[in-house]
Amino acid sequence: MAKAIKQIKQTAPDPQEQQMQAVSDMVAVLAENKDAILKTVGILKELHEMGALDAVHALLEKRVDVGAIAVGQMNQTGMHNMMKNGMNAVKFLGSVQPERLEIMLNGVGRGLQRLTDAVERGDKPSLWQIGKSMRHPEIRTSLTTMTEFLHGMGEAFSHDSRHVH
């Protein structure tokens, strides 16, 4: 019959062997991910050269103070409305077709340029000249656009249960 095991020998790994194994594992991982690691080092170098790492480091060191300031700013009167308005603006921009928005913004830009030019020239049109300008196709197109805009806005107001005016 076999003898009963009375004592179990536990072999503790040698700390030097553990360290060598860890270094070997790290070298293997570095070799497998060489390109990614080199790109990461390049990114870190660029961030360091432009001072971004110093800024992030300082921010992390003062994270409690920065957090307190941020919470204080967010609790100011009107900040909640600003955040909601910002989210609504982003939602609105996401719903508008880019081509339509581009056309509208180009029109606004040209209109502002003509307005600036007229102010610089000192133009002060009479009521008669303003009335005559209604014959220009550009003016009529703009008025039609504004009228349709007002119709759409009125429709949205009439469908909303809250009163705006």
Backbone angles phi, psi at 161, to 5 degrees: -75, -20
Claim to verify: residue 132 and residue 104 sit in the same structural domain = yes
Q: What is the pTM of this model?
A: 0.47
Claim to verify: residue 88 and residue 140 sit in the same structural domain = yes
Provide the pLDDT for residue 30.
93
Claim to verify: residue 123 and residue 84 sit in the same structural domain = yes
Report yes or no: 30 and 38 within 8 Å, Cβ to Cβ. no
Q: Kindly indicate the confidence band of residue 157, based on its pLDDT and cuts at 50, 70 and 90.
A: confident
pLDDT in tens, 15-71: 898 999 999 999 999 999 999 999 999 999 999 999 999 999 999 999 999 999 988
What is the domain count for the chain? 2
Q: Which of 40, 44, 68, 70 is nearest to 56 (CA)?
A: 44
Report yes or no on 113 lying in a domain.
yes
Tell me the pLDDT of the chain averaged across its residues: 90
Residue 54 CB contacts under 8 Å (≥ 6 apart), including other chains: 48
Residues 29 and 48: their CA atoms lie apart, in Å, by: 25
Would you say residue 94 has pLDDT above 80? Answer: yes
Claim to verify: residue 86 and residue 120 sit in the same structural domain = yes
Claim to verify: residue 44 and residue 91 sit in the same structural domain = no
Range of the domain at 94: 80-159
Claim to verify: residue 92 and residue 136 sit in the same structural domain = yes
Claim to verify: residue 57 and residue 84 sit in the same structural domain = no
Provide the pLDDT for residue 74.
85
